[in-house]
Structures are given as structure tokens and as C-alpha cells.
Structure 1
Amino acid sequence: MDLAGWYPALAERGLAYGPAFRGLRRLWTAGDEAYAEVTLPDEAAGDADGFAVHPALLDAALHPVGLLLAERSGGPRVPFAFEGVQVHASGARTLRVRLTRAGSRVRLVAGDESGVPVVSVESLALREMTDATGAEAAERSMFEVTWQAETVTPARDVSGWVLLGDGPAPADLVTPVFPTVGELTAAVSAGTVEGPRALVVPVPAGTPDGDLPDEVRTATARVLAVLHSWLDSEALADTTLVVLTRAAVAATPADAVRDLPGAAVWGLLRSAQSEHPGRIVLADVDGDLTPATLAVLAAVAENPSPTGGQVAVRGNEVRTPRLGRPSSRPPTNSSRRTVLLSGRSAPAPSTA
């Protein structure tokens, strides 16, 4: 097939691909099958070794699916659900692909230039992308994180909580303090203390005049070390990890994010929460740790599902992040918004 104008034609239908994703080089069709050669552009090829299969390469391998599934009307069809995915080799920069129609689904087999299998997908379901073009469709596709007020009944019992730190607990807290996770584990193993219900880890806030990159690295490295020690401790298998920040998220219109190292910790631990659901609570507070705040956090830790394990405590109010459509938009003729879609991916380090 002649591929001249292939990507401009897709853009007219609402599928605009950036330079890193324009990898389709050659294409043949034969009945219920399509054969393609896809290659990573030079600007993305250097990242290939960082992935099992580079996402831009796999994406390009699926660009011909519209030829196999006749689009009767409406928008183009895009990948929706994968089944039976196997990666056979990593680091490929070029794929030779066979796509086969199987009813309303597609099967993919891809190898490298020498024929060595790289990736296969037993079944790929696609869905029509309706109203794919136009400014109104773009607005409908926009979402934002909003912090909604939640009803949380403070726990009556906050016993069995331990604080991680270098000094004593605040005077009005009875929570014992352990300098390290290792010392807490040793005490639990020796029977000196019972296995705690929760371990509170305060994150020191950054300083206004400090070296911000260094403070971010220090904060995330410290929390990551605590995370690893806690996960490795069999004695703390039933202990919830509660990580405490201050001014690391903007949960109300009046909030300002002043603690950027703490904000980086939130990003790190959101990934850890997905790997260890129900075991980690992220909490941002607007003051010192008090018995009242501790009672709220205890309630969240005991039942993290309604909040997703992420809360901001502002006075007597508890807020949680929710994804929703923007509540207000700038007038079309008076201001503009810019959205950056980079098309460049980088492998994320595992938190565990």
C-alpha cells in the first residue's frame, strides 16, 4: 500500500500521532490479514533497551487495524482490551507484524528483522472513538483532579500506632517512637512491643532557601528506604504505613504547594499504593500531628477504600482526590490553555 499521506489522513479522523509514534514504514493487505513493518524513529530508538517492547513501536504496529475492521460509521476504532499478551524478546527497534482479523477482534504476531519472535497478542478488542475531532470533543476529553470533602468518623481507638523519627513524640501523643524500621522490627520480633497497627512516617518539609533538587532526592530516597524496610519486615506484615506531609498538595482553593519534596513523595508512593493496595495511606495535614488528626488517620487506615488511601486533613475537614471534568473553563475568546503531549515515554523504576 502507498503510505504517502497515511498519518495526515489519520489526523483528519482524530488520531494525530506525534513524531515518535509515526513508525509505520511498509504495509500489505491480504484478505483478513495485514502485514506491516514498523520502526522506531531516531529520536525514540535510543530508549528501546529500557522497555520490554517500546510503547511507540507497539502502538505503530496497531496502526493498520482499521483496514481489517470495516468502520461502518462514526469515529475510528482504537485499542480497548488486550488478552493473551506475551513478550518473547526485548529491545527491538524494528518489528515485522502480522495482524489477523478474528471476528470483531484482532490477533497480532510480531518479530524482529531476523524473524525472532518479539511480542504476540492473542486477542485485541477495539472500540469506536466517537466525536473524535473538534474543539468540543477536546473539551469533553479533559479531566482534572479535584479534592472533594468526605465524611470520616474519627476512630475512638488509636492505640497500636508507632511514630518513626529521631526525637520523642509530641507531648499530647502517647505513640511510641522508633528511630528506624529495623529497630521496630527487632522490638516486635523480641516481643518487647506488639506488632503495631500503623507506622506513621513524617516527611520533613523542604526549606525555602535549600537546594531543591537535593532535598527532593533526599526525601524520596529516605521514604523509599523506609518503604523497602517495611515491606521486607515479616513482623510488620499487618502494619499499615501512614506517610505524613504538610503543604505537599493543594486540596482547597486557598492551598499553596510549599513542600515540593513532599509532593515528590506523593508521586512516588502513589505508585507503591497500586502495587500494595490497602497497605499505604498518604496524608497531608495543615498542622502538627494531634490526637484529633491521629484519630482521623486511624479511621482512614482501618478502611482505606472510600478514600483510596489518600487524604488531606484541613482543620476538621477531610478531602480526597477524585477525577472529574473541569468545573469551569476560561472563556474561549479571552484566554487560551496549552496542553503538552510529549509522545516520549521513560521506564519508571519499581518502588518495591
Structure 2
Amino acid sequence: MLSSNNFKHYTLLILGFCLSISCFSQHPYKRTLKLMGSRFDITVVADNEEKGQAYIDTAVAEITRIEKLISSWDPNSQTSEINRNAGIKPVKVDAELFELIERAIGISRLTDGAFDISYASMDKIWKFDGSMTTMPEAKDIKASVDKVGYKNILLNKELSTVFLKLEGMKIGFGAIGKGYAADKTKAFLISKGVPSGIINASGDMNTWGKQPNGEEWKVAITNPMDKSKSYGLLPITDGAVVTSGNYEKFVEFNGKRYTHIIDPRSGMPSSGIISVTVFAPKAELADALATSVFVMGKDVGLSRINQFPKIECIIIDEKGQVFTSDNIKIQKL
């Protein structure tokens, strides 16, 4: 699983901005800033700069609100309160947080536990900063997952409470938090009348509407083994795309690469895949599934994605080979 300081690599490039847009009444306005500990690029389409910047201010306020709700690093957040009371008592939470946790558990069921927000209680036995020289011992790997398990997250819908059954359990939203923030911010801006835009949360991207020139937004799928090259373009219409990459954070033992995305069921790092891009209606779901595909592996991952409607996937393995889900359509460059 990805931790809260995970690495979502910038393999998505926004293409096709009209180079000369003076003939159009609406213009794109963009701001880049750090939110939720990550880079956010917020682009909105508006008919003047004052309105565009005001829309972006509104987006920043919404993302900040979400962070205060779901952050496991903020001791005052409801998430931290849940973690402090693990094994002690249920905690009453806002409906928004309750429903996010409920959806996360649903994704855990769909992925047979490859995705699990209780990964946060795992001991950090794997280090990807260059300091590891030997494989961790099997007993330490096994112990690292003793308190991981979405089935031990107990929800009471009537009372809106969350209870972590085991003392020492923790939940965290590092693998879906930025995607969720992108979804909520998009919906909020649409409610304010913003006709078009992009929320790019460190690679968790959500779009709506069209460019000022009337064309669809497009993304380029970059080759992680040669970032100067792209495999192709895909139009994005009112949807989300998330790319997870692990080609910069890994260790190698006996000729095998182990990456920073850990299987919460076994404590072992994923292997064999270096990049996963998922297209879905919501960034929250795309975010979770991108992580899950890494853990499940190419064959199981693609098989699972092909079972979901309106979801597509591109996988690049450690040899640079590209594999796609059944119905994806790429415009080759």
C-alpha cells in the first residue's frame, strides 16, 4: 500500500491548451501550490482573471477542509481520534468521513484486501532510502501485518461510529485521500458554476468540461523508462485518471526488485510492475485501484479491472512492456 507520503509520479501531461485563445471568451487560469503535503495544480476556465482566481481560492479552501477531516497526521482530526481509540471505544464521526471509510472497505472487498486503509499500522521494516542492505527476516515481515485488516474496522451506520477492533490499529488515507480531495473539489467548483477545469493532485487527476477551444482535455501516457517519450494520447471527458509509479523507490536483493508499494496482506513489496494508470469516473476509485493493481499483479489486476464497468487500465512492467484492459482506446503518437 502507499503511505501518506507516497510517490505519485508525474507521468501525465496535460496537452492541447489553445496557444492563442484571444478569440475565445473564456480562458484557463492555473495555480500550483502545496496542499495535503503534495503538489496540486488547479486549473479553471473562466471569462476573466478575477473570477478565475476566486474559483481557485474556493478550491484551496475545500481541499484544506478535507485535509483537516481525514489527515492522520493532524492530532485534531477525526481520523486521529479514531486511531487513538483503537481497541478502546467507537468514535462518532461526520457522515462524510463515515461514508469515505465505508467506500474504502468496499474497495477492499472488491480487491480481496489488496487495498486496505488499515495499512497505516504496519511497521516500517522496509526502507527505500538506500539504507537497506539485507532482506528483512520472515518473522518481522509477518509481524508487520498483525494489526492490518479491513475486517477489523467496525462501522455502526445508525450511530455513525467507527471502531478499530485491535489496539494499535490505525487507518490512513494516503492511497485515496488526494483522489477524494480532487473529486470533492471538482464537484464543489461545478456547483459554483465553473464550466471546465482540472484538479491534478500529484498525479491524481480529475477533469470536467472542455478546453476553451472546444476540444476535450487529453493526457499523454509517458514511458517511465524514457520520460521523453509517450505511448499515446487519451481524451478525458468528465472523468479521472491516476498514475502510480514505483520506478524511483525500490530495493534489489538477489537480482529482484522490491518496490515501496506493499501488499497489506503479506507485508511484502509488490514486484514486476513499474507503472499503473487507471481511468475511472472518480479519482478516489482510480487512486485505490491503481494501488491495488500493483499489489495484485498484471494478470489478476487486468482481469479484475475488466470486470468493472467504465474503468480502464494501462500497465507497464519492469521490462517496459505495455498491457491494457480490454476496452481502452489509445491514440498512438
Smaller-chain TM-score bracket: under 0.3
After TM superposition, the score normalised by the length of structure 1 is: 0.24
Q: Which has the higher contact order (CA 8 A, sep 6+)?
A: 2
Larger radius of gyration: 1
Give the TM-score taking structure 2 as reference length: 0.25
